[in-house]
Amino acid sequence: MLAVLAAPALAQAQANAPLPAQPKFDAKGIARTETVRREFDGHREAIQVRVDFAPGASFPKHSHPGVEIAYVLSGTIEYELEGKTVRLQAGESLYIPAGAVHSAKNIGDGIISELATYVVEKNQPIVILAK
């Protein structure tokens, strides 16, 4: 199921919020900053990660051992999910089902940021690159 949600008031608040210090990008232009990791139940954990994309940066096709909810903090990001292209702007969210292969790309001129919230199986890698 593909679900895109908007929160205009929250988006406006986020747009006015100061950005953190310059992210430390990897060679592909992606910076991941884990903000929360807590046990969810006996088998899963809840993890939240801020993901910053340099201009033109993309994250290749991958999946997760649980669900992800991606909330765009700033900029415009394009996802490929379930054979569809989904473009999100600040204040919009995307639900990504467990195991769904997807990718993400910064299609703007500046740094974009999202907050990725996962409920995933414990003791598994958060990101599994597609083959």
Element (H, E) at 67: strand 66-74
Q: Domain 3-15+24-129 belongs to what topology? A: Jelly Rolls (2.60.120)
Instruction: Write out the two tokens for 26.
Output: 């990897």
Per-residue pLDDT tens digits of the chain, which is 131 residues long = 455 555 554 444 444 445 456 889 999 999 999 999 999 999 999 999 999 999 999 999 999 999 999 999 999 999 999 889 999 999 999 999 999 999 999 999 999 999 999 999 999 999 999 98
**Could you give the CA distance from residue 11 to residue 9 in angstroms, rounded to a whole number?**
5
State the burial class of residue 29 (Cβ atoms within 10 Å of its Cβ: 0-12, 13-18, 19+).
middle
Residue boundaries of the structural domains of the chain: 3-15+24-129
**Could you give the CA distance from residue 66 to residue 44 in angstroms, rounded to a whole number?**
8
Nearest alpha carbon to residue 96 among 123, 77, 112 = 77
In 3-state terms, what secondary structure has residue 15? helix
> Is residue 37 within 8 Å of 66, Cβ to Cβ?
no
Instruction: Write out the two tokens for 102.
Output: 């997807």
